[in-house]
Amino acid sequence: MENMRTRRALVFTLLLIFWAPPALRADEGLWLFEAFPKQRLAAKYGIQLSDEFLDRLRLASLRVGASGSFVSPDGLIFTNHHVALDCLQKLSTAEQNYVVNGFWAASQADEKPCPDLEANQLVRIQDVTDRVTAAVRPDASDAEALRQRLAEIARIEKECASATGNRCDVVTLYSGGRYHLYEYKKYTDLRMVFAPETDIGFFGGDPDNFTYPRYCLDIAFLRAYENGRPARTPHYLSFSREGVKDGEVIFVSGNPGTTGRLMTVAQLEFMRDHYYPLIHRRLASLIRTLEKYSAQSKENERVAHDNLFSQQNSYKAYTGFLAGLRNPKIMELKRAEERKLRDAVEADADRRARFGGAWDAVAGAYQKFRDYYKSYWLLESSPHRGTDLLRIARDVLRLSEERLKPNDQRLREYRDSALPSLEQQLYSPAPITDSMEAAVLADYFEFLRSELGAEDAVVKAILNGRSAQQAAQEYVSTSRLKDVAERKRLAGDAEAVRRSEDGMLRLARILDGPARQLRKRYEDEVEAVLNSSAAKIAQARFAIFGQEAYPDATFTLRLTYGAVRGYKDRKGRWVPYATTFDGLYKRATGKPPYRLPKRWLEARSRLNLKTPFNFVSTADTHGGNSGSPTVNARGEIVGILFDGNIESLPNRFVYTEEQARSVHVATQGIIEALDKVYGAHRLLAELGFK
């Protein structure tokens, strides 16, 4: 009986927290710049943000792999070491390993071009909801309505791109309740300026990832060029001379990845029981393969470093997501939220008629999806995870075919508006290593066989009587797609692609027919229902609880805020807001992943060991925010976001702030390191410190 009373009290408390009036809620919100809650901020913290503040921060912020910002008028970009890691890996050779040794351009002439990195600056936002929704015929089925919306979106994007020369993306918000056109200025010539050694950039390695306290100099500087010269970037952020302070209100501008806070309970249960466990198993398998490959030689370790880091990072993230969905408290909170909304809909005849069947429609769609979600994810959604050659082969195959269709009938990623960015990736001269490609493909084939069965038609066609290792080696060794000129030739000739005996193209053709069928089925049975029914749920939420709401993240620009604040850990111990250099040296053991670079050992006596290094805040962030500038109320950079603690991962579904924290590098530590460890005086002068 006592346990029942305790449980009821807990649920009641959770409900009070979640349904508290907006002004009393925690620092929740992945806010659109065009709908930032200024009054809510002012009511809680007494800070008034001007439109000029928001415009300057938006124009200084970038999407660059994840997030970043301009920090000088000459195109200097500030982001994370792990965001720039892909570029460092591609610039490295067996003779010069910039991942291990770091990179510092002593002069502008020494700044090295990143092979395929692109930065996007959001310059204009336009609400195109009316135009997109008007394109749907009144008698259209859900599947037809989706195709009509997508066709209209393609037309809008092409008109914008043709008129401006910029990248133009129509962003779906509130599950289809709103559509906004985002126009981006593109910077495609990005060059490496500075990055520290990985031993300090990712100090603590995978064991410390998604934890706190942390001791990482997870920073990098790039530069945007235009016409061979540093870009003129008048909208930039200055570094604070004072740095971050305990209790200070900060703002984080970046591009959080997909969240599921507006998902129905049926969706969350599907993710918990089916989709995420599949992804988790796939990542675990790929990590084992890459670790085994890396252990074979120093060169293999160098080649696989970025790939292994990416998979380990994703695995730990999905571990946290699953822990959140398997937490009964969180699921009860989501059920209570849904019941409250559904009860309010049922209580009104008009709302019941408009919105009442939406939840059951979503649940029905996911019930159908259970029959083929494995095949869909493995063949269409993510077949090329960890492999460049299969991604290239599929793009060559599909681009050659999709170009023959009218723009509004193509797969979304091959529309005219998307082609410049796609082609920059597809025609990248970045090195590709056959041995790693074969190892990853063999793992993929083994995983396909274990999940779909040895008698699955696609599995049998791929292997054709061979072992997974034999098949992978044959596909890779008979491919010429490492040659950029060959990719360009084939991508413009669909007939040549169909006839080609190139090993990777043969593999891509085996996958492509079933993958396209699965994609169409998913779009017709799941995505179409979500666009219709989830949009109705969003409209019901607006009707009942008002317009002060934010949409789920879509890897587009958002603004969050919070306080710099420590917390009590799970054992009740107080964790201070900031770590220091002194803590770094005490944490260092001399062995990976707690080994310091030689120059850091030599610089210890020169450093102020009390300098703040990493810090935490209550800012509401998510994967994709890596590299986000962290600014004070004056718009000055006081840090850069690079992680969250493990308690923050369930924020994908519901925000909490008791223990969940975003983790940042403090500018005090950055300036101290650039000065006394690296002697990076040219960079410090550009940042205004010399």
Mean pLDDT within 66-79: 98
Q: Is the pLDDT of residue 16 over 50?
A: no
| 20: confidence class by pLDDT, cuts 50, 70, 90 | very low
- Indicate if the pLDDT at residue 637 is higher than 60: yes
pTM exceeds 0.85 for this model: yes
DSSP-assigned letters across all residues of 628-673: -EEE-TTS-EEEEEEEE-GGGGGGGTS---SS--EEEEEHHHHHHH
H runs (alpha helix) in 179-297: 198-201, 205-208, 265-270, 276-294
Give, in order, the Cα–Cα distances in Å from 480 to each of 60, 116, 477. Answer: 41, 20, 8
pLDDT at 516 over 90: yes
pLDDT of residue 14: 33
Distances in Å between the alpha carbon of 499 and those of 503, 506, 652? Answer: 12, 9, 45
Percentage of the residues of the chain whose pLDDT score is greater than 90: 92
Q: How far apart are CA 83 and CA 65, in angstroms?
A: 6
Give the separation between CA 69 and CA 236, rounded to whole angstroms: 7
pLDDT at 492: 95
Residue whose structure tokens are 């990845």: 257
CB 642 within 8 A of CB 626: yes
Cβ count within 10 A of residue 50? 10
Structure tokens belonging to residue 59: 């124009």
Helix (H) or strand (E) holding 158: helix 142-164
Give the per-residue pLDDT at 547.
58
In whole angstroms, what is the distance from residue 427 CA to residue 440 CA? 21
Give the number of C-alpha atoms closer than 13 A to the C-alpha of residue 525, restricted to the C-beta side.
Answer: 18
Which has the closest alpha carbon to 221: 53, 96, 74?
74
Has residue 436 got a pLDDT over 70?
yes
| Residues 250/565, Cβ–Cβ less than 8 Å | no
d(CA 412, CA 156): 13
DSSP code string of 272-336: IIIIHHHHHHHHHHHHHHHHHHHTT-HHHHHHHHHHHHHHHHHHHHHHHHHHHHT-HHHHHHHHH
CA-based Rg of the chain, rounded to a whole angstrom? 25
Q: What proportions of the chain, in percent to the nearest 5, are helix, strand and coil?
A: 55, 15, 30
**Between the CA of residue 625 and those of 257, 479, 557, 630, what are the distances in Å?**
7, 37, 9, 10
**Tally of CB atoms within 10 A around 594:** 17
Closest by Cα among 625, 385, 380 to 511: 380
Q: Which whole number is the average pLDDT over 477-484?
A: 98
Read off the tokens for 338. Answer: 């849904």
In the predicted model, is pLDDT for residue 24 greater than 80? Answer: no
pLDDT of residue 378: 98
More confident residue, 7 or 285: 285
Specify the pLDDT at position 177: 85
Sequence-distant (6+) residues with CB within 8 A of 63 are: 119, 120, 122, 184, 255, 555, 556, 557
Give the type of residue at 170. Answer: V
Nearest to 619 by CA among 29, 5, 3: 29
Query: Average model confidence (pLDDT) for the chain?
Result: 94
How far CA 42 is from CA of 39, 249, 561, in Å, comes to 5, 11, 12
Exposure b/e, 528-547, CB count within 10 A at least 16 = b: bbbbbbbbbbbbbbebbeee
Q: pLDDT-based confidence at 7, cuts 50/70/90?
A: very low
Q: Nearest CA to 212 among 570, 631, 562, 561?
A: 570
Reported confidence tier of residue 535, pLDDT bands at 50, 70, 90: confident
Tens digit of each residue's pLDDT (9 = 90 or more) over 225-271: 999 999 999 999 999 999 999 999 999 999 999 999 999 999 999 99
CB atoms within 10 A of CB 362: 25
CA–CA separation, 90 and 104 (whole Å) = 16
Among residues 606, 420, 567, 398, the alpha carbon closest in space to that of 487 is found at 398
The amino acid at 453 = G
CA angle 429, 435, 438 (to 5 degrees): 100
As to burial, measured by CB atoms within 10 angstroms (0-12 exposed, 13-18 middle, 19+ buried), residue 121 is buried
Query: Is residue 6 scored above 90 in pLDDT?
Result: no
Residue from 63, 57, 59 nearest 190 by CA: 63
Share of the chain above pLDDT 70, in %: 96
Helix 434-452 and helix 276-294, axial crossing angle in degrees, nearest 10? 140
Residue 548: the pLDDT is 65
User: What is d(CA 52, CA 528) in angstroms, rounded to the nearest whole number?
Assistant: 39
Among candidate residues 29, 34, 1, 10, the one with its CA nearest the CA of residue 618:
29
Residue 650 CA to residue 320 CA, distance in Å, equals: 6
Token pair in block for residue 172: 């779906």
Q: What is the pLDDT of residues 360-401, one digit of tens each?
A: 999 999 999 999 999 999 999 999 999 999 999 999 999 999
